[in-house]
């Protein structure tokens, strides 16, 4: 299985609730575990940044220019909620290239894992909630442009609704969007996905898994995807600082196994991106993301 990673994924946010150093920590943990297991079934690949032409498949030229030149307006920065820098802009372009590469690998090899990406709050002409470039949308549009796929399913299990995803693919019959999230949480205006599962505060493992299972089966009864884009947020975790659900680490692993097994049994290639994770202990966020990689590898062996 291909693992996509670049040292440039770190958004270099400094002291921020978004621990963007997690990408390096996940890479290091996976590298260490693979070495200890003498597992040669994994390969780390480094992506190239998405080109402007690729970004323009989703985003407006003005937004891309201002982001790259560091000339975002004050209100745009307030909405984005992270400081502007060249390294930040470069990281988002790398993440979009990484998700596109992971999607290509998934089509060829059944599954692939981008140790980054999942920036599901980005809109065509602005960023929100730590997300400036919608890497998942860029990857889907690039693969559609190249006629590698026609149809993609996005399953978003971040604690926050994928509002950018819903807006970008609204009324687009080639992309089906599913988001399961805490209702009483950011974003407070939620454009409708094809399926939205709005969860009450404090939902734990049992109810979450039951409702996720129902939603994925309902999506697949209505839509026949050639690729599953899985936005694997770690923030439904009970100790997350920006979440209000109550999933355990074991429940999050079962969440991943559930979706991966359904897709694999139907022979749908799986591309994973990471999205959010803000646990009080960064080590917990890293563990949750590493577990997702291990669940994917185990499912497709």
- As a three-state string, the secondary structure of 30-64 is HHHHHHHHCCCCCEEECCCCCCHHHHCCCCCHHHH
Residue 154: band (very low, low, confident or very high) from pLDDT cuts 50, 70, 90:
very high
Alpha-carbon distance of 227 to 50, in angstroms, equals: 20
Strands 270-273 and 43-45: unpaired
Nearest in space to 81 (alpha carbons), one of 112, 52, 122: 122
Average pLDDT, the chain: 96
- Per domain, the residue ranges of the chain are 2-300
Residue 165: band (very low, low, confident or very high) from pLDDT cuts 50, 70, 90:
very high
Q: Per-residue pLDDT tens for 175-220?
A: 999 999 999 999 999 999 999 999 999 999 999 999 999 999 999 9
Is residue 9 within 8 A of residue 116, CB to CB? The reply is: yes
Predicted local distance difference test score (pLDDT) of residue 43: 86
Report the alpha-carbon angle 195-199-200, nearest 5. Answer: 155
Predicted local distance difference test score (pLDDT) of residue 13: 87
Each residue of 181-193: b (16+ CB within 10 Å) or e? Answer: bbeebbbeebbeb
Q: Per-residue pLDDT tens for 122-133?
A: 999 999 999 999
Question: Which helix or strand (DSSP H or E) is residue 221 part of?
Answer: helix 205-222
Each residue of 99-128: b (16+ CB within 10 Å) or e? Answer: bbbbbbbbbeebbbbbbbbbbbbbbeebbb
pTM for this prediction: 0.96
Task: Give domain 2-300's CATH number out of 3.40.640.10, 3.40.800.20, 1.10.3720.10, 2.30.30.790.
Answer: 3.40.800.20
Which residues are catalytic, by number? 121
Give the contacts of 233 (CB within 8 A, at least 6 positions apart): 118, 156, 157, 158, 159, 160, 274, 275, 276, 277
Residue 42: band (very low, low, confident or very high) from pLDDT cuts 50, 70, 90:
confident
């Amino acid at each position: 299985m291909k693992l996509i990673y670049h040292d440039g994924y770190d958004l270099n946010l400094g002291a921020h609730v978004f621990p963007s150093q997690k990408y390096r920590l996940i890479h290091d943990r996976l590298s260490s575990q693979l070495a200890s297991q003498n597992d040669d079934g994994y390969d780390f690949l480094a992506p190239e940044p998405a080109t402007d032409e690729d970004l323009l498949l989703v985003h407006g030229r003005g937004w891309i220019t201002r982001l790259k030149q560091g000339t975002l307006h004050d209100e745009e920065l307030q909405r984005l909620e992270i400081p502007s820098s060249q390294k930040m802009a470069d990281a988002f372009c790398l993440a979009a290239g990484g998700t596109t590469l992971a999607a290509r690998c998934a089509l060829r090899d059944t599954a692939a894992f981008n140790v980054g990406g999942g920036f599901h709050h980005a809109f065509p002409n602005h960023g929100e909630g730590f997300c400036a470039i919608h890497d998942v949308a860029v990857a889907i549009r690039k693969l559609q442009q190249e006629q590698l796929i026609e149809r993609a399913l996005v399953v978003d299990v971040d604690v926050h609704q994928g509002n950018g995803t819903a807006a970008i693919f609204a009324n687009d019959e080639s992309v089906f969007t599913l988001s399961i999230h805490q209702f009483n949480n950011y974003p407070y205006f939620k454009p409708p996905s094809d399926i939205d599962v709005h969860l009450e505060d404090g939902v734990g493992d049992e109810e979450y898994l039951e409702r996720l299972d129902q939603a994925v089966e309902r999506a697949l009864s209505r839509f026949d995807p050639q690729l599953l884009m899985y936005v694997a947020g770690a923030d439904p975790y009970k100790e997350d600082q920006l979440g209000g659900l109550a999933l355990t680490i074991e429940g999050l692993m079962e969440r991943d196994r559930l979706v991966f097994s359904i897709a694999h049994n139907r022979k749908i290639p799986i591309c994973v991106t990471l999205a959010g994770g803000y646990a009080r202990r960064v080590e917990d966020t890293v563990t949750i993301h590493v577990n997702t990689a291990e669940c994917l590898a185990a499912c497709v062996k």
